[in-house]
Amino acid sequence: EPEVTQTPSHQVTQMGQEVILRCVPISNHLYFYWYRQILGQKVEFLVSFYNNEISEKSEIFDDQFSVERPDGSNFTLKIRSTKLEDSAMYFCASSPGQGTRNQPQHFGDGTRLSIL
């Protein structure tokens, strides 16, 4: 079964540095998402992306964050000037984007980001 893949599985970074989290969505999916989950807490929506532009973003997704689809397969989340509170698991997800709306979102295994 096709799956969403994320790299790296764990990223350790010094506070103030920039990080790029990478995702390869399922190949025929058109809608892409980033979520984060602070340890022991709920999954929080960050941003959704379609047709090479942001569709929706949450209050969390401020100027520190950006997303990009640099080629036909990758979808990246960049976090600038990282802070301690950015430490979390970051999940990428994708959904087909064709046919009925509100389709299931398929999540990757996540990247655990640790800010020191």
Partner 1 sequence: GQSLEQPSEVTAVEGAIVQINCTYQTSGFYGLSWYQQHDGGAPTFLSYNALDGLEETGRFSSFLSRSDSYGYLLLQELQMKDSASYFCAVFHSGGGADGLTFGKGTHLIIQP
Judged by the rule CB under 8 A, the positions of this chain that interact with partner 1 are 31-33, 35, 41-45, 47-50, 55-56, 58, 91, 95, 97, 101-102, 104-110
Q: How far is the CB of 16 from partner 1 (least distance, A)?
A: 28
Q: Which CB atom, from 5 or from 64, has the smaller least distance to partner 1? A: 5
Q: How far is the CB of 71 from partner 1 (least distance, A)?
A: 19
Q: Which CB atom, from 14 or from 53, has the smaller least distance to partner 1? A: 53
107 within 8 A of 92, measured Cβ to Cβ: yes
Q: How far apart are CA 48 and CA 85, in angstroms?
A: 22
Longest dimension (CA), the chain: 44
Tell me whether strands 53-57 and 75-79 are parallel, antiparallel or unpaired: unpaired
Q: Name the nearest CA neighbour of 50 among 112, 113, 111, 101.
A: 101
Q: How far is the CB of 45 from partner 1 (least distance, A)?
A: 4
Q: How far is the CB of 58 from partner 1 (least distance, A)?
A: 7
Give the burial class of 97: count Cβ atoms within 10 A of its Cβ; 0-12 exposed, 13-18 middle, 19 or more buried: middle
Q: Which CB atom, from 14 or from 99, has the smaller least distance to partner 1? A: 99
